[in-house]
A and B are shown apart, each in its own frame.
Chain A
Amino acid sequence: EIVLTQSPATLALSPGERATLSCRASQSVSSYLAWYQQKLGQAPRLLIYDASNRATGIPARFSGSGSGTDFTLTISSLEPEDFAVYYCQQRSNWPRTFGQGTKVEIK
């Protein structure tokens, strides 16, 4: 099973600041990595798929990069609605696995 490790666990930032979230895989997942956003009491929402492709309707301030074992989700300028928990997920191997999440909170 591929283990995804996200860092940091919590990121405290102010609106307008840049957020950089990391996801590291225990073995190569090529570009088969996605990022999801989850707000309290809601289902997750797909943001980025195949490492760097924005899903439909996702604002351009969200971007993804990386391949192999190291991936990054960047939010260029935090909006109030971006404070949430973010998860990475791989689909390179079964079982599909998620990282443990990074909480982006207001500083």
Chain B
Amino acid sequence: EVQLVESGGGLVQPGGSLRLSCAASGFTFSTYDMTWVRQAPGKGLEWVTYISSSSHTIYHADSVKGRFTISRDNAKNSLYLQMNTLRAEDTAVYYCARLSSWWEVLWGQGTLVTVSS
């Protein structure tokens, strides 16, 4: 089955760190660009970061630049999001998504990150 499964969410204190993972299966992960998109509780979608299939090209939203790092391990069919210096406003469901023709076509179910003391 073609799917993406996120993990690693949870409760973290402000200023803390968390690493999210996204496990891909059912397709050739190494040939697809990937993104992370988040959604704060009751709010809209916010694009977070992008990584090309080879990891050569990376973009981040200004809101996370310098704090979040996207990476991937094509041998493990996995995408990662390292989140440092977390703030209350980073509280959200984080989705990983696979790009096809430059659009987010395949989405995971999301993992909830809560930043609170």
Contacts and interface: CB of A to CB of B under 8 A. Distances in A.
A98 B102 CA distance: 15
Contacts of A45: 107
B117 interface: no
Given A97-B47, A101-B44, A91 B102 contact: yes
A95 B59 contact: yes
Given A43-B95, A43-B108, A43-B109, A91 B44 contact: no
Counting contact residues on chain A (CB < 8 A from B), the size range is 20 to 34
Interface string B88-116: 00000001000001111101111000000
A89 to B, nearest CB: 7
Interface residues of B, number: 21
Contacts, number: 53
A96 B50 contact: yes
Interface string B37-49: 1000000111100
B59 A91 contact: no
Contacts of B110: 43
Interface of B: 35, 37, 44-47, 50, 59-62, 95, 101-105, 107-110
